[in-house]
Amino acid sequence: MYIKSLSLQNFRSYESQKLVFDEKTNVFCGANAQGKTNLLEAVYLFSMGKSFRTMQDVDLIHFGADYTKATLVFCDRHREHTLEIIILQNKKKQIKINGVTISRLSELVGKLNVVLFYPEELGLVKEGPYIRRRFMDVALSQLRPAYYHALGRYQRVLDQRNKLIKRIRMSSDKSLKDTMFAWNEKLVDYGMELMRYRAEFMKRLGELAQKAHFEAAEENLKLVYHPRFSDKAEFLQKLEESFERELEQGHTLYGPHREDFEIFIDDKEAKFFGSQGQQRSAVLSLKLAQADLLFEEYGEYPVLLLDDIMSELDSKRRAYLAGKIPDKQVFITCTELNTQLPKGRIFNVTKGQANLQE
């Protein structure tokens, strides 16, 4: 799988830009705040249908413009595809796949697979559970489109249940409590489905991450994920037992939306006992394992997006990563060229313009 070209109109700092890429290595080089990460963000948009930097689509529109339009052409092992996304002020974004408008974002997810490395994700080890849950959700959505649907179903039921909890708190109508059981049943059914997907995924990911980490650092990496509940009855019972506390706090306290997983290096929890270098190695191993897992599933590697990651790694880990990417298409941002990078196309980025270096 590789991306052939990207065209942008009014996207972030880019008023108008068209780029044609190398099938392997593409480097965006320039000073900070010139627009390098915006290019990776545009590519990522075509993978997940949303940015990795903002929840608001309108943030992607160039200042002073009414819309943004992005077009990406990529090839998988079957054929060439053209993707188009248009975002207008105060309107739902429009997405086309090979000229056909789609109505659901789930139709886009899984078409173009990418694995993203960016500095904020170095917090995958040391930050709170939300970062690790997001990693699971994004990675699993690419690997299993059915998971993306299941996650959407669970989130909708969770939102409705939380609204009901708030209504019960504010109302004297005792009959409202009788409707909670139906929402509990749905939350448990969809929640157990998510946990089954996650358990399978984390087992496979853990095996590949362990292998990658030992190659890079000669340390034993272990991922530990325990589904919050072993069966439906246990989950239902917990919801019933915690109902009064939920009324006090105003939201659902238990379920896969509160889950986490642990990362151990040489039998010590990396979050508390790992050095900064060990924590960064663990993130690198997780990401490379994610790429390998997608290759196992689809028979072709995802596109790698490396946002200034080389400057965050020591020389040993940079060399290891450089050795892993020559056979994959990779997009790299940097402030200065690194001699360890494979040869490819270099784009100089200045003030929202990317120009191919001759």
Domain presence at residue 119: no
Whether the predicted pLDDT of 340 surpasses 80: no
In this structure, the answer to whether residues 130 and 39 fall within a common structural domain is no
Q: Which of 241, 330, 231 lies closest to 2 in space, CA to CA?
A: 330
Q: How high does pLDDT run on average in the chain?
A: 92
Q: Where does the pLDDT of residue 317 fall: very low under 50, low under 70, confident under 90, or very high at 90 and above?
A: confident
Q: Residue 168 maps to which CATH number?
A: 1.20.1050.90
Which structural domain range is residue 16 located in? 1-113+302-358
For residues 249-259, average pLDDT? 95
In this structure, what token pair is assigned to residue 244? 């009064």
Q: Which of 349, 278, 313 lies closest to 119 in space, CA to CA?
A: 313
pTM exceeds 0.85 = yes
In this structure, the answer to whether residues 219 and 82 fall within a common structural domain is no
Last residue of a domain, one of 298, 314, 342: 298
In this structure, the answer to whether residues 100 and 245 fall within a common structural domain is no
Whether the predicted pLDDT of 342 surpasses 80: no
The residues, ordered by sequence, that sit 6+ positions from 347 with a Cβ below 8 Å of its Cβ are 19, 26, 27, 28, 29, 354, 355, 356, 357
Q: Where does the pLDDT of residue 16 fall: very low under 50, low under 70, confident under 90, or very high at 90 and above?
A: very high
What is the three-class DSSP state of 228? coil
The pLDDT tens digits of the residues spanning 173-189 come to: 777 888 899 999 999 99
Last residue of a domain, one of 262, 281, 298: 298
Number of structural domains found in the chain: 2
The pLDDT tens digits of the residues spanning 193-238 come to: 999 999 999 999 999 999 999 988 889 999 999 898 999 999 999 9
The pLDDT tens digits of the residues spanning 97-123 come to: 999 999 888 899 989 999 998 888 878
Alpha-carbon gap, residue 105 to 108, rounded angstroms? 5
Domain presence at residue 329: yes
For residues 309-334, average pLDDT? 85
Domain presence at residue 43: yes
